[in-house]
Amino acid sequence: MSNNVFDLSGRVAVVTGANTGIGQGIALALAEAGADIAAVGRSEATETAGKVRALGRRCELVSADLSSIEPVSEVVDAIVGKLGRLDILVNNAGIIRRADALDFSEEDWDAVIDTNLKTLFFLSQAAARHMVGWSSQSGLRGKIINIASMLTFQGGIRVPSYTASKSGVGGLTKLLANEWAPRGINVNAIAPGYIATNNTAALQGDETRNRQILERIPEARWGDPADIGGAAVFLASRAADYVQGHILAVDGGWLAR
């Protein structure tokens, strides 16, 4: 075992929604730290896979629609079959629907809750069942990292199901840490602030909104997916073996303002 507590060599990390943005940034950071990657999602993460392989790491693409729990057990079986093990799970995939709370539809409520919270739990459960089997033998802890949100702490507007789901992610992170810490698994979360991705391009392009956002952030800049990647490497590594049930805000100081 390497003396470098951040070294992820020989470990297999699963990242959902790894095709672009934060998911891609996390996958590349974990690969740079030595992990092999399984990229799971509806859209094939071919660009991410190419970049991971260029770093000398293995990358397997696993196609799955995570809007329901139907593919969950097959996803875990496929990853273990292709890469031999499953050490790290990053629950990054998520969706958002916007409408006033007075007008919000049941369809939009269910779609967001199912993807962002229900599937996150059952994929974590399936991965943990695998992790528990080998952690006591190997001496290495399993790591589950959920992607929370600023709306895990705040209410927001016009995103009731998203806010509910991300608040649920925060609570579920703590519950799973309570239950699984004695089983050799660390469960933590990252709450990204405003990150420059395709999903936030409209906000960045809106001169007034962009200025308002930057005025609120002490760092006075948008975050980069690599900023989230660094936090993921920490939580996935032996350096975080004593960190449990924590929600790490990577927000440039947004919550401190």
Number of domains in the chain: 1
In a domain, 3, yes or no: no
CATH number for the domain spanning 76: value is 3.40.50.720
Neighbours of 170 (CB within 10 A): 18
Q: Active site includes 194?
A: no
In a domain, 75, yes or no: yes
The bridge status of strand 247-250 relative to strand 88-91 is: unpaired
pTM score, whole prediction: 0.97
Bridge partners for 142 per DSSP = 185
In a domain, 28, yes or no: yes
Active-site residue (options: 121, 162, 234, 254): 162
Question: Model confidence over 208-240: pLDDT tens digits?
Answer: 999 999 999 999 999 999 999 999 999 999 999
Half-sphere exposure of 33 (CA within 13 A, CB side): 29
In a domain, 104, yes or no: yes
Bridge partners for 187 per DSSP = 144
Domain that holds residue 21: 12-250
In a domain, 257, yes or no: no
Question: Model confidence over 79-126: pLDDT tens digits?
Answer: 999 999 999 999 999 999 999 999 999 999 999 999 999 999 999 999
In a domain, 6, yes or no: no
C-beta of residue 192 within 8 angstroms of C-beta of residue 228: yes
Give the Cα-Cα-Cα angle 145, 191, 11 (nearest 5 degrees).
Answer: 25
Token readout for 98 is 């916007």
Total H helices, total E strands in the chain: 9, 7
Is the per-residue pLDDT at 135 higher than 70? no
In a domain, 256, yes or no: no
In a domain, 2, yes or no: no
pLDDT at 137: 67
Token readout for 13 is 């990390």
